[in-house]
């Protein structure tokens, strides 16, 4: 009992320490300029915080703080007055110039492929400045909202620099999750309707392709490779193999189509290797489906060439499928659980293949030994019978 109380005490102290550290990180943060902000919110991604003072007259004084960042990157915080998206955002941008000085300016975002060109915003901005110290960039500004909106659509971002020119930010992981709403009265920050429409399409694309190309295709290859050695499984193995591969193809085409749709809706965002492999897989998969329509009969003289083609293309599809699934996981950057789960599936399929390969060779070799023994027995019996018949004839 005493140990339980002691453990509970340590747990309480630990939680208090965490809460204290969090408070010091946000609400208790002391600015070097002695500025004081009544409200603060810890933004959910990109190590960012928003400190602000809001006046009911529509005046908003902010300090956007981005921590854990180097001097070779830019940061931005924006408000989108018209929609819950990046395009249309009215941004405050800051970064360190090559001479060591800081620059801060306004930039309206009119397209996805933006280099954050300087321009006027749709609302008043004054007292705009920025500082960089201790791997932390802070943007200070005062904004004016004539319509007195108390709930804002906010976007925050960071990316690399090339000289004194901002480059495109990352298009996966936290960089596509850095948007949400902010209630100026309560200080509550939230995500915009959970995952965005694009993120949901990415999830569907990933699941469809992982199940089809990444699981059903290898499984169908295993069925064809190892079930047909069992005489009792003929012709059931063929129908299982064909059903599995055709299902994989249909689901895979659906996943491939969602990928094309995502590409058309994301101009300027390209994953060349992932896209190229996906197109190759679609072409090879389509060839495999049509190859079934011209499959020669087992005793046809061209059947051996068809088998070579079919096996070569099939194993190529399986290998490229697994590679492209991992490339897709690297792009989406989901929780590690998903990647670990697929690694587990691949390992399970590979181990099954190794065990079945060994067992198949065992069956084949045993069958050949039985057939050889049978032929030898028949030869001996035949020779013995011929000797007896000759002896009878001589008699």
Rounded to whole angstroms, the Cα distance separating 313 from 285 reads: 8
Q: Is the pLDDT of residue 324 over 90?
A: yes
pLDDT higher at 115 or 308 = 308
pLDDT higher at 262 or 283 = 283
pLDDT at 254: 93
Average pLDDT, integer, range 179-199: 65
Domains of the chain, each with CATH number or no CATH:
39-183 (2.60.40.1210), 197-373 (1.20.120.1770)
Nearest to 159 by CA among 57, 85, 75: 75
Task: Please give the structure tokens belonging to residue 384.
Answer: 């013995």
Confidence of residue 378 (pLDDT cuts 50, 70, 90): low
What are the percentages of helix, strand and coil residues in the chain, rounded to 5? Answer: 50, 20, 30
77, β-bridge pairs: 92, 156
For every residue of 268-298, DSSP letters joined together read: T---HHHHHHHHHHHHHHHHHHHHGGGPPPT
pLDDT higher at 216 or 33 = 216
Model pLDDT for residues 120-133, shown as the tens digit of each residue: 888 888 889 999 98
What share of the chain in percent tops pLDDT 90?
25
Backbone CA torsion sign across 359, 365, 367, 369: negative
Per-residue CA distances from 51 to 70, 153, 275 (Å): 21, 16, 41
Confidence of residue 8 (pLDDT cuts 50, 70, 90): very low
What share of the chain in percent tops pLDDT 70?
81
Least confident range of 160-164, 337-341, 380-384: 380-384
Over its C-alpha atoms, the chain yields an Rg (Å, rounded) of 33
pLDDT higher at 82 or 15 = 82
Average pLDDT, integer, range 38-54: 83
Is 274 known as a binding-site position? yes
Rounded to whole angstroms, the Cα distance separating 196 from 178 reads: 11
This prediction's pTM: 0.52
Is 66 known as a binding-site position? no
Rounded to whole angstroms, the Cα distance separating 205 from 328 reads: 9
Q: Is the pLDDT of residue 233 over 50?
A: yes
pLDDT at 231: 77
For every residue of 329-385, DSSP letters joined together read: HHHH---HHHHHHHHHHHHHHHHHHHHHHHHHHHHHHHHHHHHHHHHHHHHHHHHHH
Is 310 known as a binding-site position? yes
CB neighbourhood size of 197 (10 A): 10
Rounded to whole angstroms, the Cα distance separating 63 from 130 reads: 9
| Burial 323-342, CB ≥16 within 10 A → b, else e | ebbebbbebbbbeeebbeeb
Task: Please give the structure tokens belonging to residue 234.
Answer: 């003929």
Do the beta carbons of residue 194 and residue 180 sit within 8 Å?
no
pLDDT at 247: 92
Rounded to whole angstroms, the Cα distance separating 180 from 46 reads: 13
Per-residue CA distances from 61 to 7, 76, 218, 263 (Å): 44, 16, 58, 39
Least confident range of 60-64, 100-104, 142-146, 305-309: 142-146
Helix (H, G, I), strand (E, B) or coil at 220: helix
pLDDT higher at 388 or 168 = 168
pLDDT at 11: 38
Model pLDDT for residues 277-306, shown as the tens digit of each residue: 999 999 999 998 888 888 898 888 899 999
Backbone CA torsion sign across 293, 297, 300, 303: positive
Confidence of residue 116 (pLDDT cuts 50, 70, 90): confident
CB neighbourhood size of 34 (10 A): 6
Rounded to whole angstroms, the Cα distance separating 145 from 150 reads: 9
Average pLDDT, integer, range 325-336: 80
């Amino acid at each position: 009992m005493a140990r339980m109380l002691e453990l509970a005490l340590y747990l309480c102290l630990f939680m208090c320490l965490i809460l204290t550290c969090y408070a010091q990180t946000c609400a208790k943060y002391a600015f070097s300029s002695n500025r004081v902000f009544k409200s603060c919110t810890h933004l959910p991604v990109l190590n960012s915080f928003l400190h602000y003072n809001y006046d009911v007259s529509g005046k908003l004084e902010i300090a956007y703080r981005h921590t854990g960042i180097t001097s070779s990157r830019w940061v931005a915080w924006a408000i989108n007055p018209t929609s819950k998206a990046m395009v249309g955002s009215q941004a405050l941008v800051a970064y360190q110039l090559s001479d060591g000085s800081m620059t801060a300016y306004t930039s309206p975002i009119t397209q996805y492929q933006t280099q954050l060109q300087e321009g006027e915003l749709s609302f008043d901005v004054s007292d705009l400045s920025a500082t960089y110290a201790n791997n932390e960039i802070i943007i200070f500004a005062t904004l004016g909202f004539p319509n007195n909106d108390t709930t804002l659509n906010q976007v925050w971002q960071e990316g690399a620099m090339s000289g004194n020119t901002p480059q495109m930010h990352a298009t996966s992981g936290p960089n596509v999750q850095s948007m949400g709403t902010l209630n100026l009265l309560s200080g509550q920050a939230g995500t915009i309707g959970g995952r965005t429409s694009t993120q949901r399409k990415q999830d569907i694309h990933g699941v469809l392709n992982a199940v089809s190309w990444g699981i059903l295709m290898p499984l169908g290859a295993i069925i064809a490779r190892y079930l047909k050695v069992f005489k009792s499984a003929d012709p059931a193995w063929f129908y299982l193999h064909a059903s599995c591969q055709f299902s994989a193809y249909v689901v895979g085409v659906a996943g491939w189509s969602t990928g094309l749709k995502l590409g058309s809706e994301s101009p300027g965002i390209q994953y060349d290797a992932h896209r190229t492999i996906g197109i190759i897989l679609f072409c090879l998969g389509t060839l495999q489906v049509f190859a079934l329509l011209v499959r020669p009969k087992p005793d046809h003289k061209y059947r051996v060439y068809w088998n070579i083609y079919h096996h070569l293309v099939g194993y190529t599809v399986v290998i490229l499928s697994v590679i492209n699934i991992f490339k897709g996981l690297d792009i989406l950057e989901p929780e590690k659980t998903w990647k670990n789960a697929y690694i587990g599936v691949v390992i399970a399929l590979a181990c099954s293949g190794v065990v079945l390969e060994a067992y198949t060779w065992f069956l084949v070799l045993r069958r050949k030994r039985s057939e050889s023994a049978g032929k030898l027995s028949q030869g001996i019996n035949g020779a013995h019978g011929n000797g007896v018949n000759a002896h009878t004839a001589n008699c």
